[in-house]
Chains A and B, each alone.
Chain A
Amino acid sequence: MKFTPAITQRTGLSTRQSVTYRAIAILLSVVGTGLVLMLFGLNPVRVFGAIIEGSMGTPIRIHQMINSAIPLVISTLGIIVAFKMKFWNIGGEGQIVMGAFGAAFVAYRLPDLPQPLLLLLMAVAAAAAGALWALIPAAFKAKMGTNETIFTLMMNYIAILFVTFLQYGPWKDPARAGFPRMPDFSPNAVLPNLFGNNIGWVIAMILTAFVYVFLSRTKKGYEITVVGESPETARYAGMNIPAIIIVAMAVSGGLCGLVGMIQASAIEKTLTATISAGYGFTAIITAWLARLNAIVALFVCVVFAMLVQGAAFIQLSLGVPAAVAGVVQGTILLFILGSEFFIQFKVRLPERRRRTV
């Protein structure tokens, strides 16, 4: 069966129209996700209700939700910087793990430094380690045009195996006989709380503003956007593309590295191989949903943190596996990707449908 609707590129869509269409798209994606949930034999109203109750129902739950929004926001910022350049950095996981490693390295070597100094050094080491992990594929991309998608992804596995190696080998805590766990950080290496949440939320807000300004108001940010939109234009304008790739990926990896530091210092209070907890991947969804806008990303990430926290609650209250969060997230993004078409193009069904086989 085949019919040929007339499809034309939309021109001059006003901001208001575009916002309206996007709102419809989000609404559709929620309805679509509900249908998918029904397909799995779940009551969508109960699931969505439980998600809101589980993430916002009590002050403690709100604090927990914010705690999981912090790493997601900062990873998303990192991904946004890379994706603006159409550099498909799917190595966020590895950059987070290496950042945590950098922070732990400092925390274990200098446990008795004054707290502010120690935390600052840990943050610097984490950002440097995350940036380094991103710069390896970036350098190959810049010099030789190596495919960054596979490269950054493989770097994830290498980073996780490296920290697993430390966890079972040289860095294993001798005090815990047989149990493969690394030693806890000294109290000075733990991030303080502010208003019930670790201070990471302040860092996340500041970084959001920083990335927003960096991408929309600075020369480097503009260059990153141009390289992403059209490398030919960038070359024609005399931009140094390899240098731009290097700077953007250093920022991207550095931000992800900071996530590792915050998680290791404030949440785990030690280094583990599972510290990235999928944030590097979820950040790809949130970055795209936010249309690579740092401010919008802040809100998207809070919604996603609600999904994650809510899903953990669903597991307890409804006995539904928490993995339902992954299904919901994936479905939402698939719907949003699909509805983008109706924003970009105008579809008119033909007056007469011609059917051929």
Chain B
Amino acid sequence: MTSFLAAAIVAATPLLFATVGELIMEKSGSLNLGVEGMMLMGAIAGFVGAAGSQNAGVALLSAFAAGAGGALIFAFLTVTLRANQVVTGLTLTIFGTGVTKFIGNAYMGQSVPGPVRAFFAKTAVPGLSDIPFIGDVFFKQDIFIYIGYAVVALATVFLFKTRGGLNLRAVGENASAADATGINVAFVRYMACVVGGGLCGLGGGYLGIVYVPMWQVDVVNGRGWIAVALVIFSAWNPIKAFAGSLLFGALAILGFTLQLMEVSISQYLVDMFPYIAAIVVVIISTHRNMKEDLPPMNLSVPYFREDR
């Protein structure tokens, strides 16, 4: 059981980064459906960064920068040029898939260099890893996963306990009111996209650098879309996003575990579980009507000062 949960956390990490990233963007009013594309770009950038520099830090930065760059395209088109968010997001996914396939072609079958892999080897956290059960599940992981915990904590504190987070939420709820109080709406949305997109890039980076031993084109495989569903599931709360990612991480490795237990069910049918679960999540979350669980009021609404 502990080993199953520990493996679920590994499978949950890419989802966690992407979900928190998308959540930050949505909180500012940007419904960016390009998560899959940003994750793909982060995956290939992380991989190329690792292969080129043999340095884990460079790999992480490249993954972040690629995701942030993708999100900047989105922000420029939707905030400055007021393009339709849904179509722009979809296009970003198509663009990201193309770029990743194109660049990744040369790296097919290559593996992540040793020094980077060594950096992301499992490292127990002194003290915390001695806690029975919890230590084994949460604190005998790799550094990338610990960064994920930190991101959840930082995002929660930032969004709900700081002035910057308040401004960001204000822009997402009611952009014209925020503008009237002197908040620079465009600046806030751009920043939310850069940070959120960067986190999506890191989520992809985890897949490209740590999760798969060799580069393959379909590393992301729909996880970006599951992250979009998880944002709804989490009711725009990073801590619930962590719980949701864990749930989906567990579902994702269920097939493998069932095989080990020699349960006879087709692997392909078990692989459907996360996707079916995402549908169930979307259905349930749109059905409940709790006030605090509603999406930001101005989600996917472009802001024109002229319109007032």
Interface residues of A (CB under 8 A from B): 7-9, 40, 88, 90, 140, 144-147, 149-151, 153-155, 157-158, 161-162, 164-165, 168-169, 281-282, 284-285, 288, 321, 323-331, 333-334, 337-338, 340-341, 344-345
Interface SS of B by simple majority: helix
- Residues of A near B90 (CB, < 8 A) are 88, 90, 284
A-B interface pairs (CB < 8 A), number: 135
- Residues of A near B88 (CB, < 8 A) are 334, 337
Whether A140 contacts B102 in the complex (CB less than 8 A), given A168-B266, A334-B91, comes out as: no
Q: How far is the CA of A327 from the CA of B96 in the complex (A)?
A: 8
Q: What residue of chain B has the Cβ atom nearest to residue A281's Cβ?
A: B94
- Residues of A near B33 (CB, < 8 A) are 149
The residue that A147 contacts in the complex, of B76, B94, B271, B286, with Cβ under 8 A, is B286
Could you pull out 23 A-B pairs where Cβ atoms are within 8 angstroms?
A: A7-B304, A8-B306, A146-B283, A150-B282, A154-B225, A161-B269, A161-B275, A165-B268, A281-B94, A284-B94, A288-B87, A321-B101, A321-B102, A321-B105, A323-B101, A323-B102, A324-B98, A326-B99, A330-B98, A334-B77, A334-B92, A334-B95, A338-B77
State the Cβ distance, A5 to closest chain B Cβ, in Å: 11
Q: Is B297 an interface residue (CB 8 A)?
A: no
Q: Is B287 an interface residue (CB 8 A)?
A: yes
- Interface readout for B270-293 with A: 1 if CB under 8 Å, 0 if not? 011001101100110011000000
Interface SS of A by simple majority: helix
Q: Is B232 an interface residue (CB 8 A)?
A: yes
The residue that B283 contacts in the complex, of A140, A321, A341, with Cβ under 8 A, is A140
Q: How far is the CA of A169 from the CA of B267 in the complex (A)?
A: 10
State the Cβ distance, B30 to closest chain A Cβ, in Å: 15
Q: Are B269 and A165 in contact (CB under 8 A)?
A: yes
- Interface readout for B33-70 with A: 1 if CB under 8 Å, 0 if not? 10000000000000000000000000000000000000
- Residues of B near A334 (CB, < 8 A) are 73, 77, 88, 91-92, 95
Q: Are A154 and B229 in contact (CB under 8 A)?
A: yes
Q: How far is the CA of A284 from the CA of B94 in the complex (A)?
A: 10
State the Cβ distance, B245 to closest chain A Cβ, in Å: 16
Q: How many residues of B contact A (CB 8 A)?
A: 45
- Residues of B near A284 (CB, < 8 A) are 87, 90, 94
Whether A146 contacts B282 in the complex (CB less than 8 A), given A154-B229, A154-B275, comes out as: yes
Q: Are A150 and B229 in contact (CB under 8 A)?
A: yes
State the Cβ distance, A130 to closest chain B Cβ, in Å: 18
Q: How far is the CA of A337 from the CA of B76 in the complex (A)?
A: 11
* Closest 5 pairs between A and B when the two form their complex, measured CB to CB: A326-B98, A330-B95, A323-B101, A341-B81, A165-B268
- Residues of B near A90 (CB, < 8 A) are 90
Whether A168 contacts B268 in the complex (CB less than 8 A), given A147-B282, A321-B102, comes out as: yes
Counting chain A CB atoms within 10 Å of each CB, which of B83, B279, B306 scores highest?
Answer: B279
- Residues of B near A157 (CB, < 8 A) are 222, 272, 275
State the Cβ distance, B304 to closest chain A Cβ, in Å: 8
- Residues of A near B232 (CB, < 8 A) are 147, 150
Q: Are B105 and A341 in contact (CB under 8 A)?
A: no
- Interface readout for B221-240 with A: 1 if CB under 8 Å, 0 if not? 01001001100100000000
- Residues of B near A151 (CB, < 8 A) are 279, 282-283
Q: What residue of chain B has the Cβ atom nearest to residue A324's Cβ?
A: B102
Q: Is B216 an interface residue (CB 8 A)?
A: no
The residue that A326 contacts in the complex, of B81, B86, B101, B229, with Cβ under 8 A, is B101
Q: How far is the CA of A154 from the CA of B281 in the complex (A)?
A: 12
- Residues of B near A281 (CB, < 8 A) are 94
The residue that B81 contacts in the complex, of A140, A149, A158, A338, with Cβ under 8 A, is A338
Q: What residue of chain B has the Cβ atom nearest to residue A325's Cβ?
A: B98
Q: Is B97 an interface residue (CB 8 A)?
A: yes
Q: What residue of chain B has the Cβ atom nearest to residue A137's Cβ?
A: B279
Residues B96-140 near A (CB distance < 8 A): 96-99, 101-103, 105-106
Q: Are A161 and B282 in contact (CB under 8 A)?
A: no
Q: What residue of chain A has the Cβ atom nearest to residue B271's Cβ?
A: A161
Q: What residue of chain A has the Cβ atom nearest to residue B98's Cβ?
A: A326
Q: How far is the CA of A161 from the CA of B255 in the complex (A)?
A: 13
